[in-house]
Amino acid sequence: MQNFTIETDADGIALVTFDVPGRSMNTLSDAVIAELPDLIETLKNDGAIKGVVLCSGKASGFCAGADLGDLGRAAGSRIAPPPLSALFRRLEVLGKPVAVALEGLALGGGLELALSCHYRVAADSPKVRLGLPEVTVGLLPGAGGTQRLPRLTGVAKALPLLLEGRPLDPAKALALGVVDELVPADETVAAAKRWLREKGDPVARWDRKDYRLPGGLPYSAGGMQAFIMANATLRKRTFGNYPAPENILKCVFEGVQVPIDAGLKIETNYFLNTFATPQAKGMVRSLFLSKQALDKGDRSAKIVAPASVAVIGAGMMGAGIAYSQALKGINTILVDVSEAAAEKGKDYARKLVAGDVAKGRLSEAAGAALLDRIIATADYAKLADADLVVEAVFEDVALKHEITRRVQAVAGPGIIIGSNTSTLPITGLAQASERPENFVGIHFFSPVDKMHLVEIIRGAKTSEETVARATAYAMALGKTPIVVNDSRGFYTSRCFGTYIYEGLEMLMEGIPPALIDNAGRMTGMPRGPLELTDDVAVDLTVRIAGQTRSALGDAYQGRPYEAVLEKLVALGRSGRKVGAGFYDYPAGAPKRLWRGLADLVPAAPATLPDVAALKQRLLHRQALEAARCVDEGVIADPRAADVGAIMGWGFAPWTGGPLSCIDAIGTAAFVAQCDRLAEQHGERFTPPPGLRAMAADGRGYYAALDAA
């Protein structure tokens, strides 16, 4: 065996070390799964072995679950992954007691392997995380997780872990009964051996005749309440878009009512059914494989991340960028119009550091060191030694031009200037630069410290080295970079805007605002179009329209809803930031739609459109804009388009992203649907020529990647 070693001591305890060669983390690859039958047979038939301890040879932890590459190939080929459930059950009924020593991560199939052991010892360490995150990528635990976890904890405690996929820390895992013992780090193996010598029960608790499900079966009072609440919460959160959580609920409901072997068969059937869905294919590809590929970047590029970065503008975005840099060890110069304004921006970092120190996530010394890496100043002369300057000022072309000139006056000739703009074309902003080849767009998303996407925008004259250096900078911050070509709104803002604009088009048709926002949430978007307009800020939307009007001149085609937005701003209703927009935001109470909105928009039609039709308009409008971006060369890689959409503006994750959505519908069917929408609602739904050509040829966006 290449992935497991066995050492048996004088007490007859076999220490099985799981250590995949050449990997920093153990995963359940096809090669590992192929060795498991031999491992189990050896443990079973070796008479010298009286008990078994499983442990990891990796400092990173026990096992992170399924191998991403193998899982992706299986999803792409529609070949189901090898059956782990039966293998883990063979380990569980080995006839010899099996304990597992957990250090670091035990996720997905890694935790399912641990659950099939008779005793679980975990290190009492902040590095330990235990969980079943399969639902977050459109799958369900298929190696016993939906059966063993509720049998350990009871249904009411297991369902949130299965349906949300959030990991547990050691203390919570112990309190729930997921692990049996906590010990100091590096003492887990010794504790597991001690249990084997002193107790060493080889029978799982659910295999005993006196076993009773904690909290009661589904038809008991407690069990029924758990399923009623879980089902209601699930529908509210997912709107039926995700097969995986629904199938998890069915697995648990059906499985806990029968013996464990029958329950495992039920789980396997639901796993295979879920694995075959387009939602699973799209989510595994985009949220696992594509994101991983983008995170790694171009390994052939020998670009070193910057050691010192200046941030111009200490507002919300600049303050977030400064904190994110300092967190990753980058020396940061935070510049604003006055030192007081710059210090106010640094307060954001102070607040986050104080919170982390209070929660024990950061030592006081480490927190102080982080803050020392941020120099708040109004003195541009301090930019002289910076490797990169990120401009994060107000969305105004003239102001951004002025900042560029001031930076160039003090910085060296090799300085890279990155503009954090969400809509303004980089080629136009670079006109103020003496070296436009060193000018690039670096579009962060708010809040910077929580949003993990960065859009790198290549202007007409931006050099490839500048793009590479900006990408390396984003990766140094722990962000996922996508590289796009220049366009008004680039890729993310341009596509995201269509979601808001289509909601506003509906408003001008007289469709009730509550129906518009509910339809938006029902598509799988995080919020409705009108809610998001308030969040983004109504006045910002008006200002962006004004900038576009100025840039395009007579070519600009305004829309009727712009007058409504301008009236809202004139009434002081600029959005959530001022407590008034499309919604009112009363203190201490839920937001509610502003009643005065009815006076600004047309009355509702006699017959309201079907909700399904509204959902289709909202999703297709965004996906169509993504297709146009591909057609126009704004974005080339479908992986970047889909990952950027999900991470950047929350495009319905169940689809796998807008291009995956088109592929799942079928390019020909999607084009036909858009043509019908264009007849009903206008040319904004007209498919671009490239998409029509793909539809005619029967090709999809991922055809070339899938073939490779």
72 contacts 21 by C-beta, under 8 angstroms? no
Tokens of 353: 């550091």
DSSP alpha helix (H) spans, 537-666: 538-552, 561-570, 611-631, 638-649, 658-665
- Between helix 538-552 and helix 561-570 the angle, nearest 10°, is 130
Report the chain's terminal Cα–Cα distance, integer Å: 30
Name the β-bridge partners of 112: none
In the residue annotation, 443 being an active-site residue is answered as yes
Q: What is the chain's length?
A: 708
Integer-rounded Cα Rg, in Å, for the chain is 28
CA distance 517 to 239: 13
CA distance 514 to 511: 9
Backbone angles phi, psi at 684, to 5 degrees: -60, -15
Kindly write down the DSSP assignment for every residue of 385-434, as one continuous string.
G-SEEEE---S-HHHHHHHHHHHHHHS-TT-EEEE--SSS-HHHHGGG-S
User: Which of 292, 232, 269 has its CA nearest to residue 66?
Assistant: 292
The H-or-E segment that residue 238 falls in is helix 221-238
328 contacts 306 by C-beta, under 8 angstroms? no
**In 118-131, which positions are buried (b, 16+ CB within 10 angstroms) versus exposed (e)?**
bbbbbbbbeebbbb
Backbone angles phi, psi at 181, to 5 degrees: -160, 140
**Catalytic residue, candidates 118, 401, 443, 620:** 443
Distant-in-sequence, close-in-space partners of 708: CB < 8 Å, separation ≥ 6:
none
CA distance 501 to 490: 16
CA distance 653 to 523: 10
The number of beta carbons lying within 10 Å of the beta carbon of residue 381 is 9
What string of H, E and C letters represents the secondary structure of 532-550?
HHHHHCHHHHHHHHHHHHH
**Which residue shows structure tokens 């900006």?**
470
Backbone angles phi, psi at 98, to 5 degrees: -125, 125
User: Which of 270, 295, 294, 266 has its CA nearest to residue 135?
Assistant: 270
CA distances from 410 to 56, 337, 382, 403 (A): 53, 16, 8, 11
> Catalytic residues, which ones?
443
